[in-house]
Homo-oligomer: A and B are copies of this chain.
Amino acid sequence: MRILLATRNAGKLDELRRIVVKRGLGEVRVLGLSDVEDFPEAPETGATFEENAVAKAHDAAKATGLPAIADDSGLSIDALGGMPGVLSARWSGQHGDDEANLRLVLGQLQDVPDERRGGGFVSAAAFVVPDGKEIVVRGEWRGTIIREPRGTNGFGYDPIFVPDGETRTAAQLQPAEKDAVSHRGKALRSLLPHLQEYVEGQ
């Protein structure tokens, strides 16, 4: 059985493949967007992570006829009213400029005292079956926004995020360590029972 993960990110694909195998769903083959015919990717204009994840999964399922999983993730900072949130990847106005986005957040939080620098990575993951069910779940990973970047793993805001209970930033964790506790790992694992149910119903 083939399932589409609506991403071109090889890291995300590997992560879902590992999770799926661990769950004993060895018969599921996880494809990425690069494995299927091109279809126009709509811009993410939803007001919530959930809205974006569901829309992306719907588009992918509709275009390919495959059951599709999609996620939308970002950093939600308390002192910024929950932003950058759905705008995490384009916070500086430039899409995908991780360094500019991170520097802007540090500038905005410059005068925000340590006790108000809480925040969390959030991921919504949606599972959509063509003409069928639609599930969306959320994973969160709470922590603190520090004042200077540390570490080179990961991407995005990882270098300025210290998860609760850690002294290292997310960018100083090993990828497998991060998978085990991160927002997206949590969200994807929450989807698995629904994926399993669907697989067993086929």
Contacts and interface: CB of A to CB of B under 8 A. Distances in A.
Interface in A94-141: 94, 103-104, 106-108, 110-113, 116
Contacts of A111: 43-45, 90
A91 B108 contact: yes
Given A82-B81, A83-B80, A83-B81, A47 B116 contact: yes
Decide if the interface of chain A is mainly helix, strand, loop or mixed.
Answer: loop
Interface string A29-68: 0000000000000011101000000000000000000000
Contacts of A79: 47
A93 interface: yes
B112 A90 contact: no
A163 interface: no
Contacts of A113: 45
A108 B90 contact: yes
A86 to B, nearest CB: 9
Nearest to A87: B108
A92 interface: yes
Given A87-B108, A90-B111, 11 more contacts: A45-B111, A45-B112, A47-B79, A47-B116, A80-B81, A80-B83, A81-B83, A90-B108, A91-B108, A93-B107, A93-B108
Nearest to A80: B83
Interface of A: 43-45, 47, 79-83, 85, 87, 90-94, 103-104, 106-108, 110-113, 116
B83 A93 contact: no
Nearest to A45: B111
18 contacts: A43-B111, A44-B111, A45-B112, A47-B79, A81-B81, A81-B82, A81-B85, A83-B83, A90-B107, A90-B108, A90-B110, A90-B111, A92-B107, A93-B103, A93-B104, A93-B108, A93-B110, A94-B107
